[in-house]
Amino acid sequence: MFHIKPLAPTSRDALPDEHRRSNSAEPDHEQDPSDRLQVEAGAHEPGGDRFRRGGAATLLAAGRDCLLVSGIVSASGEVDLRSYGRGVPPVYVTPFEHRIAAPLLIVGSKDDPLIPKRDVDRLLERASSHTKSSVLVSGSTHGWDLLQGSGVSKRVRDAVARFIANVGAPVATGCPA
C-alpha cells in the first residue's frame, strides 16, 4: 500500500502568484494528500478522472516537497510546462529531478508530444532513486488514458500493478540535501 506523508510544509514557489489557488479553494485537510499536492500544482479536479497536469504535479511534489512515500508513479509527467500556455500553470520539474529519491515508475507513450522519450530518459538519469524505470508504449496516448478508457494499455496497467505490489517501506523524497 502506498504511503504519503509531508515531512515539511509544502511550498508553491514553482508557480507564479496568479496560478496559485486562493485560500477559499484550498482542499480541506481531510482530503487525500495527493489531491492537495495536485491542486497546488494546478490541477482543477482533485479526485476526478480528468486531472490536469497530474503526472507533472506528481513529479514536482516528489522532487520539491519533502515527503515520505513508498513509490512514485507518473503517468505522462511533463518536466517543463513553462512555455505550453493555454492556461496551464508553468510547472517546472527539472531543477528538482535530482531530489526524487523514492522508487519511480514513469509510464507513457513513445510519441507523446508533451513528454518526449529524451525527457523521460533524462529524468531517469537525474533522479537519485535506486529503483527507477519507465514503460513507454507505441502511440501518443497521454496520461490517465493509458490506464482507463479507450486508450488503455494492458502493458502499462500491468507495470503499475507490479510496481505497487512491490513497493517497500516509505522513504524520504524531495528533501533538500
At 85, the pLDDT band (50, 70, 90 cuts) reads low
Residue 40: predicted pLDDT: 45
% of the chain exceeding 90 in pLDDT: 47
At 44, the pLDDT band (50, 70, 90 cuts) reads very low
Number of domains in the chain: 1
Residue 81: predicted pLDDT: 83
Higher pLDDT, 144 or 13: 144
CA 32 – CA 34 distance, rounded (Å):
5
Question: Domain range holding 106?
Answer: 4-171
Query: Is the pLDDT assigned to residue 141 strictly greater than 80?
Result: yes
Residue 163: predicted pLDDT: 95
Angle between helices 54-64 and 33-40 (to 10 degrees): 100
Reported pTM: 0.72
Query: Is the pLDDT assigned to residue 93 strictly greater than 60?
Result: yes
Residue 177 lies in a domain: no
Query: Is the pLDDT assigned to residue 7 strictly greater than 60?
Result: no
Three cell numbers at 150?
Answer: 479507450
Average pLDDT score over residue span 137-162: 91
Residue 176 lies in a domain: no
Residue 89: predicted pLDDT: 72
At 24, the pLDDT band (50, 70, 90 cuts) reads very low
Residue 40 lies in a domain: yes
Residue 76 lies in a domain: yes
CATH number at residue 63: 3.40.50
Query: Is the pLDDT assigned to residue 55 strictly greater than 90?
Result: no
Given strand 72-75, what is the order of strands in its sheet?
Answer: 72-75, 104-109, 132-137
